[in-house]
């Protein structure tokens, strides 16, 4: 178990990086607490797998240092770092039994056979693999195989962190949920540092205590799922998290009112004050969940033309055009849906203002 | 790492020695070769190569070989790809027996089969055509191609096929646009082996041809005359027989080295 | 991996079946037919039953050739398989070094077999050949035309030189097909280079190595052109392998009946041994299940 310090990490795959865009990781400077469950979330190519490989030691970063509990491990190879990794596809030693697979990391480190046996049985019990120990690993289902990969990490008592690189990609959708619960349970039981890479926000939000959102080689926000949902610090986070993502409309500030085309949104004194200090391009953001929809004119309501309504089962998504921009609202299943014209109300508590894509 | 490179260099030097010797001899006259031992050609001559390039009975041998070898490679790959897919993905009546039977066709001692082969191809009127040799070489190349390709295909997780079929791909479209690119290293290796085995085979090629499709390997045996072998000419011809195959492997080398990247679906 | 059960897969195999059967079945039937008859000339033949088989099986020179053949093929496999794997492991994974290695490996394979024997004939000559002259310069008397042991050494060297690249190419292609994640996982698990070889590389190469082993076995068992050109089966009969003897019977004595019986027996030996190799390799490592 360990606290992980990332000091000024940057990495470029090319030998001679010149411009900022040459870097797959631009600047990562962070401390990850011992025993935390972290999820690295971001779209493909955002640098999350690169960061994972820097932590596991499969890559040496171009710049910066990594400390595990204060010990500099930047130049150490993976086997000296006490980390374990579960890959996207199950990686097993096909010719070995499940027992031998789990025992492999211990035997390589010269443990005596008695300790190996005891530890393998403990871990097999935790992972519900005990009935399969004598079987050949190659014949098992994908979820059992991924558990074995995880088990090879868990058998080592000294393991500092377990890294997961999109581990549920090959798992049946109905088993994904089970396996995710199992991971969460193991995390609570063993209090290991878990780092989980995914592009699936549902996985990230249900698995992690802290979600690290990455975008174009940078960490844009670290926070609990709730923080990311309510207070995204960057428009990317607002857009990426939540389904559908946050609404963003560019606006101009006029006498405490946000003007969007011909529509006017009431901001209130506090928000207007904040917006007044900004110098960049202004955007107003609001979660579809918090946007109020009315069938007739209401106080501070903005008139909008209804474009479409999608039924998502337990809720509906209404898309309306307001001041030339589409905005979406989430309606409960039993809420009335306006036909052609809707009046949208923006509760000032839930309005977030952004200048040049950064939260004000 | 250093020791490994050194070992490899020593091996390749040893591997290249006989070929260097052939190159050395190809640049000398026969009389020169037979009279003195020399590590390099002292009296450099292109005479041997000139003879091959100007004499139609020589260079047509290369053209004939290239034609039937290319035909054979194309036929072998085209028929073996779907068959290898069937063996790697499906269970069907007689699959195991069929798979092994294919390979048994490489096991027949050619010497005794030559006469029946000649009779068969005479009956269907194919003697002295390129297609006859190409078809005869399918006997050992098609089974080889099926075996090599099946090995590579079995390494591709079946989930990839399932996903593609669920996404609405038809079999031909899935096979050509997704599956073959995935095993391109295997296709490259197979193409090279088909080319190679067909290129060096002599007995069938010589038996089934008389003049208009005669292969280079058969023409090279003509260098044996009453006065003994013309070593210089034979070596030059030998060096030139390496060239087409070397080009083939140059083109497929990246496919061999690349392997396939799992998970890039 | 569980396979789908579907007999329509036969349609995918059909083209291969037709094209191979065309060249395989009729000639085989003809040879079986010959093996049961005594042929004096066109249209003059007598059915003799299994007479030729009896004669061939009691032929002492054939027994000797068979023993020689087993020793030769055994040595070929023992040397070429490990050597080919070692070379494949040493080769660079990418870059110009990989390209150069692949092309160089392929060169010996591309020379027609009769030419290989001829080139080695002069290569090993003590007066004008590099190898022969080199060995003599080291003070070793070497003459493959007079000494049976020298003839064997020369043949083995030629064989290993010629065919190890085939094993190396197949093994290399097999190695490159192993996903990088396996090596990453093994590093994290603290596996030694030997453990990586034993538990990842070797099992993952099983398919290509099966092919390499069967090919090398069959082709070395059928070897004809190279030793025939290099030693002509001599000195004496010391390098007369099965194929060379078969041609002596078939062509030298114009005796198609016994030759046909001989080749059928020959074929059956290869078939049996290949099948055994195949079964063993298919089940190796599956035993613990």
| Alpha carbons A83 and A61: distance in angstroms, whole number | 17
| Alpha carbons A331 and A327: distance in angstroms, whole number | 13
- Mutate one of C2, C177, C188 to test the A interface: name it (highest A CB count within 10 A): C188
Query: Does A254 lie in the same domain as A236?
Result: no
| Alpha carbons A236 and A42: distance in angstroms, whole number | 10
| Alpha carbons A227 and B166: distance in angstroms, whole number | 38
Query: Does A205 lie in the same domain as A126?
Result: yes
Distance from CA of A88 to the nearest CA of C (A): 9
Query: Does A105 lie in the same domain as A215?
Result: yes
Distance from CA of B264 to the nearest CA of A (A): 11
Residue A161 phi, psi dihedral angles, 5° rounding: -160, 150
Query: Does A19 lie in the same domain as A149?
Result: yes
Nearest to A78 among C179, C188, C204 (CB): C188
Query: Distances in Å between the alpha carbon of A193 and those of A91, A219, C168?
Result: 21, 19, 44
Percent of chain A with pLDDT over 70: 100
Tokens encoding C16: 């291969």
Nearest to A91 among C182, C192, C195 (CB): C182
Residues of chain A in contact with residue B154, where contact means CB-CB under 8 angstroms, are: none
Answer yes or no: do B95 and C9 touch at CB < 8 A: yes
Kindly indicate the confidence band of residue C44, based on its pLDDT and cuts at 50, 70 and 90: low
- Are A132 and A98 spatial neighbours (Cβ–Cβ below 8 Å)? yes
Tokens encoding B214: 């005669």
How does strand A210-215 pair with strand A218-223? antiparallel
- Are A327 and A319 spatial neighbours (Cβ–Cβ below 8 Å)? yes
Please state whether the peptide bond connecting residue C235 to the residue before it is cis, i.e. omega within 30 degrees of 0: yes
B263, burial (CB in 10 Å: exposed 0-12, middle 13-18, buried 19+)? middle
- Are A195 and A40 spatial neighbours (Cβ–Cβ below 8 Å)? yes
What confidence score (pLDDT) does residue B264 get? 28
Distance from CA of A88 to the nearest CA of B (A): 8
Q: Please name the chains neighbouring A, where neighbouring means 3+ C-beta pairs under 8 angstroms.
A: B, C
Residue A36 phi, psi dihedral angles, 5° rounding: -85, 155
For residue B235, give the chain C residue with the closest CA. C119
Q: Please name the chains neighbouring C, where neighbouring means 3+ C-beta pairs under 8 angstroms.
A: A, B
Closest to A13 (Cα-Cα) out of A49, A53, A61, A48: A61
- Compute, in degrees rounded to 10, the torsion defined by CA atoms A305, A307, A308, A309: -10
Nearest to C288 among A58, A78, A136 (CB): A136
How does strand B90-91 pair with strand C4-5? parallel
Percent of chain A with pLDDT over 90: 4
Residues of chain C in contact with residue A105, where contact means CB-CB under 8 angstroms, are: 188-190
Distance from CA of A179 to the nearest CA of B (A): 19
Q: Is the pLDDT of residue C16 over 60?
A: yes
Answer yes or no: do C184 and A94 touch at CB < 8 A: no
User: DSSP assignment, residue B208?
Assistant: T
What confidence score (pLDDT) does residue B71 get? 95
Answer yes or no: do A96 and C191 touch at CB < 8 A: no
Answer yes or no: do A88 and B157 touch at CB < 8 A: no
Tokens encoding C26: 């009729």
What confidence score (pLDDT) does residue B262 get? 34
Residues of chain A in contact with residue B263, where contact means CB-CB under 8 angstroms, are: 88-89, 169
For residue A110, give the chain C residue with the closest CA. C190
For the question of an ipTM over 0.90, the answer is no
> Which residue segment(s) compose the domain that C235 sits in?
61-283
Which tens digit of pLDDT belongs to each residue from A54-75? 888 888 888 888 888 888 888 8
Contacts of B218 (CB under 8 A, 6+ apart): B61, B202, B205, B206, B209
The SS3 of residue C240 is coil
Tell me whether A139 touches chain C (CB under 8 Å). Answer: yes
Scanning chain A, the segments in alpha helix (DSSP H) are 48-56, 98-108, 113-126, 142-154, 173-190, 201-207, 225-230, 235-240, 268-277
What confidence score (pLDDT) does residue C129 get? 82
Nearest to C177 among B25, B185, B196 (CB): B185
| Alpha carbons C82 and C99: distance in angstroms, whole number | 22
pLDDT digit of tens for each residue in chain B (265 aa)? 678 889 999 999 999 999 999 999 889 888 887 788 888 888 888 888 988 888 888 888 889 999 999 999 999 999 999 999 999 889 888 888 888 888 888 877 777 778 788 888 888 888 888 999 999 999 999 999 998 888 778 878 787 888 888 888 888 899 988 888 888 878 887 888 899 999 988 888 888 888 788 888 778 776 655 556 788 888 898 899 999 888 888 887 777 655 443 322 2
Answer yes or no: do A136 and C286 touch at CB < 8 A: yes
Answer yes or no: do B216 and C104 touch at CB < 8 A: no
Q: Number of A to B CB contacts under 8 A, please give it.
A: 7
Answer yes or no: do C172 and B256 touch at CB < 8 A: yes
Closest to C212 (Cα-Cα) out of C112, C125, C85, C113: C85
Distance from CA of A106 to the nearest CA of C (A): 8
The enclosing H or E element of C187 equals helix C180-188
* CATH number (domain holding residue A236): 3.40.50.300
Which tens digit of pLDDT belongs to each residue from C115-163? 888 888 888 888 888 888 888 888 777 777 778 888 888 889 999 999 9
Kindly indicate the confidence band of residue C2, based on its pLDDT and cuts at 50, 70 and 90: low
| Alpha carbons B145 and B191: distance in angstroms, whole number | 8
Query: Distances in Å between the alpha carbon of C189 and those of A121, C180, C242?
Result: 18, 14, 51
For residue C2, give the chain A residue with the closest CA. A139
> Which residue segment(s) compose the domain that A29 sits in?
4-240
Query: Does A285 lie in the same domain as A147?
Result: no
Which tens digit of pLDDT belongs to each residue from C204-242? 888 788 888 888 998 898 888 788 877 777 777 788 888
Query: Does A327 lie in the same domain as A235?
Result: no
- Mutate one of B263, B264, B265 to test the A interface: name it (highest A CB count within 10 A): B263
What confidence score (pLDDT) does residue B261 get? 37
* Cβ atoms within 10 Å, residue C25: 12
Q: Quick one: average pLDDT of A329-350?
A: 86
Distance from CA of B112 to the nearest CA of C (A): 6
Residues in chain C, overall count: 289
- Residue with the bigger pLDDT between A238 and A17: it is A238
Nearest to C115 among B120, B238, B245 (CB): B238
Q: Is the pLDDT of residue C289 over 80?
A: no
Please, what are the domains in chain B?
1-45 (no CATH), 56-258 (1.10.3720.10)
| Alpha carbons B118 and B135: distance in angstroms, whole number | 13
For residue B162, give the chain C residue with the closest CA. C4
Cα-trace Rg, chain B? 22
What confidence score (pLDDT) does residue B259 get? 47
Cα dihedral across residues A179, A180, A183, A185: positive or negative = negative
- Mutate one of A86, A89, A167, A197 to test the B interface: name it (highest B CB count within 10 A): A89
* CATH number (domain holding residue C239): 1.10.3720.10
The SS3 of residue C186 is helix
Distance from CA of C50 to the nearest CA of B (A): 18
Q: Is residue C115 part of a domain?
A: yes
Query: Distances in Å between the alpha carbon of C64 and those of B112, C69, C101, C236, C242?
Result: 20, 8, 40, 12, 9
Tokens encoding C270: 């290869």
Q: Quick one: average pLDDT of C38-64?
A: 74
Nearest to B259 among C120, C177, C267 (CB): C177
- Which residues of chain B have a Cβ shorter than 8 Å from any chain A Cβ? 157, 159, 262-263
Distance from CA of C214 to the nearest CA of A (A): 22
| Alpha carbons B5 and C173: distance in angstroms, whole number | 19
Q: Is the pLDDT of residue A83 over 80?
A: yes
Tokens encoding B178: 């997704």
For residue A165, give the chain B residue with the closest CA. B263
Q: In total, how many domains does chain C have?
A: 1
Q: Number of B to C CB contacts under 8 A, please give it.
A: 291
Angle between helices C148-176 and C206-221 in degrees, nearest 10: 150
Q: Is the pLDDT of residue C1 over 60?
A: no
Q: Is residue C14 part of a domain?
A: no
For residue B263, give the chain A residue with the closest CA. A89
Query: Does A108 lie in the same domain as A9?
Result: yes
Given A240, A267, A291, the domain boundary residue is: A240
DSSP string, B112-136: HHHHHHHHHHHHTT-TT-HHHHHHH
Cα dihedral across residues C167, C168, C173, C178: positive or negative = positive
Residues of chain A in contact with residue C286, where contact means CB-CB under 8 angstroms, are: 136
Exposure class string for A296-308: b at 16+ Cβ within 10 A, else e: eeeeebbebebee
Tokens encoding C17: 């079946």
DSSP string, B127-160: TT-HHHHHHHHHHHHHHHHHHHHHHHHHTS-HHH
Answer yes or no: do C13 and B87 touch at CB < 8 A: yes
Q: How does the average pLDDT of chain A come out, rounded? A: 86
Distance from CA of C39 to the nearest CA of B (A): 14
The enclosing H or E element of A2 equals none
Given A189, A218, A240, the domain boundary residue is: A240
Query: Does A332 lie in the same domain as A205?
Result: no
Answer yes or no: do B157 and A89 touch at CB < 8 A: yes
Residues of chain B in contact with residue C6, where contact means CB-CB under 8 angstroms, are: 90-92
Stretch 123-152 of chain B: residues touching chain C, C-beta under 8 Å: 135-136, 138-139, 142-144, 146-148, 150-152
Given A176, A209, A240, the domain boundary residue is: A240
Query: Does A259 lie in the same domain as A157?
Result: no
Q: Please name the chains neighbouring B, where neighbouring means 3+ C-beta pairs under 8 angstroms.
A: A, C
Range of weakest confidence among A32-46, C23-37, C80-94, C196-210: C23-37
Query: Does A255 lie in the same domain as A169?
Result: no
- Are B175 and B149 spatial neighbours (Cβ–Cβ below 8 Å)? no
Q: What is the largest CA-CA distance in chain C?
A: 76
Q: Number of A to C CB contacts under 8 A, please give it.
A: 61
- Are B65 and B199 spatial neighbours (Cβ–Cβ below 8 Å)? yes
Closest to B18 (Cα-Cα) out of C81, C165, C238: C165
Cα dihedral across residues C224, C226, C229, C234: positive or negative = negative
Tell me whether A135 touches chain C (CB under 8 Å). Answer: yes
User: DSSP assignment, residue A180?
Assistant: H
Contacts of A328 (CB under 8 A, 6+ apart): A244, A247, A288, A291, A317, A318, A319, A320
Query: Does A312 lie in the same domain as A197?
Result: no
Q: Is residue C264 part of a domain?
A: yes
- Chain-centroid distance of CA C115 in Å reads 18
Tokens encoding A191: 């209090």
Tokens encoding A182: 């199992």
- Are A39 and A208 spatial neighbours (Cβ–Cβ below 8 Å)? yes
Residues of chain C in contact with residue A149, where contact means CB-CB under 8 angstroms, are: 185
Exposure class string for C82-114: b at 16+ Cβ within 10 A, else e: eebbbbbbbbbeeeeebbebbebbbbbbbbbbb
Query: Does A265 lie in the same domain as A222?
Result: no
Tokens encoding A26: 């631009």
Tokens encoding A99: 């027992």
- Are A10 and A62 spatial neighbours (Cβ–Cβ below 8 Å)? yes
Q: In total, how many domains does chain A have?
A: 2
Closest to A9 (Cα-Cα) out of A56, A63, A71: A63
Residues of chain C in contact with residue B176, where contact means CB-CB under 8 angstroms, are: none
What confidence score (pLDDT) does residue C159 get? 93
Contacts of B55 (CB under 8 A, 6+ apart): none
């Amino acid at each position: 178990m360990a606290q992980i310090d990332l000091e000024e990490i940057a990495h470029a795959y090319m030998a001679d990086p010149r411009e900022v865009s040459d870097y797959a990781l631009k600047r990562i400077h962070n401390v990850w607490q011992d025993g935390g469950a972290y999820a690295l979330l971001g779209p493909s190519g955002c640098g999350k797998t690169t960061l994972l490989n820097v932590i596991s030691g499969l890559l040496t970063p171009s710049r910066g240092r990594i400390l595990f509990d204060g010990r500099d491990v930047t130049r150490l190879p993976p086997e000296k770092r006490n980390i374990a990794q579960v890959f996207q596809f199950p990686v097993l030693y096909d010719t070995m039994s499940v027992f031998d697979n789990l025992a492999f990391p211990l035997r390589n480190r010269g443990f005596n056979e008695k300790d190996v046996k005891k530890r393998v049985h403990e871990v097999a019990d935790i992972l519900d693999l005990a009935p399969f120990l004598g079987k050949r690993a190659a014949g098992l289902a994908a979820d059992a195989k991924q558990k074995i990969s995880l088990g090879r990490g868990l058998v080592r008592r000294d393991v500092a962190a377990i890294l997961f690189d999109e581990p549920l990609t090959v798992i049946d959708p109905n088993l994904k949920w089970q396996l995710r619960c199992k991971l969460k349970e193991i995390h609570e039981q063993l209090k290991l540092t878990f780092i989980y890479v995914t592009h699936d926000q549902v996985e990230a939000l249900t698995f992690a205590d802290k979600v690290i959102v990455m975008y174009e080689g940078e960490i844009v926000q670290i926070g609990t799922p709730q923080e990311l949902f309510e207070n995204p610090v960057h428009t990317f986070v607002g857009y990426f998290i939540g389904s559908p993502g946050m609404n963003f409309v560019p606006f101009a500030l006029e006498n405490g009112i946000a003007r969007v085309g011909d529509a006017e949104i009431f901001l209130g004194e506090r928000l207007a004050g904040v917006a007044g200090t900004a110098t960049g391009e202004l955007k107003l953001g609001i979660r579809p969940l918090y946007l109020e929809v009315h069938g007739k004119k209401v106080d501070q309501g903005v008139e909008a033309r209804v474009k479409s309504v999608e039924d998502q089962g337990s809720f509906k998504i209404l898309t309306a055009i307001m001041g030339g921009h589409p905005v979406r609202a989430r309606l409960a299943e039993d809420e009335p849906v306006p036909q052609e014209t809707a009046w949208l109300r923006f509760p000032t508590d839930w309005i977030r203002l952004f200048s040049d894509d950064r939260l004000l | 790492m250093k020791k490994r490179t050194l070992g490899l260099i020593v091996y390749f030097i040893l591997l290249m020695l006989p070929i260097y010797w052939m190159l050395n001899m190809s640049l000398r006259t026969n009389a020169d070769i037979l009279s003195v031992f020399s590590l390099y050609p002292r009296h450099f001559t292109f005479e041997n190569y000139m003879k091959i390039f100007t004499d139609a009975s020589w260079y047509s041998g290369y053209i004939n070989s290239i034609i039937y070898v290319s035909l054979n490679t194309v036929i072998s790959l085209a028929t073996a790809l779907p068959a290898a897919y069937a063996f790697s993905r499906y269970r069907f009546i007689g699959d195991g027996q069929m798979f092994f039977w294919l390979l048994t066709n490489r096991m027949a001692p050619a010497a005794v089969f030559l006469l029946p082969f000649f009779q068969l191809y005479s009956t269907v009127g194919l003697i002295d055509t390129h297609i006859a040799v190409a078809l005869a070489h399918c006997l050992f190349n098609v089974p080889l191609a099926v075996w090599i390709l099946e090995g590579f295909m079995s390494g591709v997780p079946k989930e990839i096929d399932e996903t593609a079929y669920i996404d609405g791909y038809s079999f031909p479209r899935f096979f050509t646009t997704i599956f073959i690119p995935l095993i391109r290293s295997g296709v490259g290796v197979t193409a090279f082996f088909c080319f190679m085995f067909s290129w060096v085979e002599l007995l069938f090629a010589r038996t089934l041809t008389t003049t208009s499709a005669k292969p280079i390997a058969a023409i090279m045996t003509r260098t044996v005359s009453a006065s003994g072998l013309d070593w210089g000419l034979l070596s030059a011809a030998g060096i030139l027989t390496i060239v087409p195959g070397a080009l083939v492997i140059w083109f497929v080398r990246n496919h061999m080295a690349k392997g396939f990247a799992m998970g890039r679906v | 991996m569980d396979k789908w059960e579907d007999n329509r897969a036969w349609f995918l195999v059909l083209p291969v079946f037709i094209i191979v059967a065309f060249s395989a079945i009729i000639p085989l039937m003809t040879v079986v037919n010959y093996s049961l008859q005594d042929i004096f000339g066109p249209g003059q033949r007598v059915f003799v039953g299994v007479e030729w088989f009896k004669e061939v099986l009691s032929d002492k020179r054939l027994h000797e050739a068979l023993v020689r053949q087993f020793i030769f093929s055994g040595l070929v496999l023992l040397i070429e398989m490990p050597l080919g794997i070692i070379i494949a492991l040493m080769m660079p994974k990418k870059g110009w070094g990989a390209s150069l290695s692949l092309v160089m490996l392929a060169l010996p394979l591309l020379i027609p077999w009769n030419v290989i024997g001829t080139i080695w004939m002069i290569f090993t000559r003590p007066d004008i050949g590099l190898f022969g002259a080199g060995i003599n310069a080291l003070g070793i008397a070497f003459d493959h035309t007079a000494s049976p042991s020298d003839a064997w050494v020369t043949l083995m060297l030629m064989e290993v030189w010629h065919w190890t690249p085939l094993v190396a190419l197949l093994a290399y292609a097999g190695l490159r097909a192993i996903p990088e994640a396996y090596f990453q996982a093994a590093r994290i698990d603290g596996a030694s280079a030997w453990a990586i070889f034993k538990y990842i590389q070797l099992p993952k190469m099983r398919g290509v190595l099966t092919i390499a082993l069967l090919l090398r076995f069959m082709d070395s068992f059928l070897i004809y052109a190279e030793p025939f050109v290099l030693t002509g089966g001599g000195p004496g009969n010391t390098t007369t392998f099965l194929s060379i003897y078969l041609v002596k019977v078939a062509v030298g004595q114009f005796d198609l009946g016994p030759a046909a019986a001989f080749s059928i027996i020959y074929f059956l030996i290869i078939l049996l041994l290949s099948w055994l190799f195949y079964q063993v390799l298919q089940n190796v490592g599956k035993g613990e299940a």
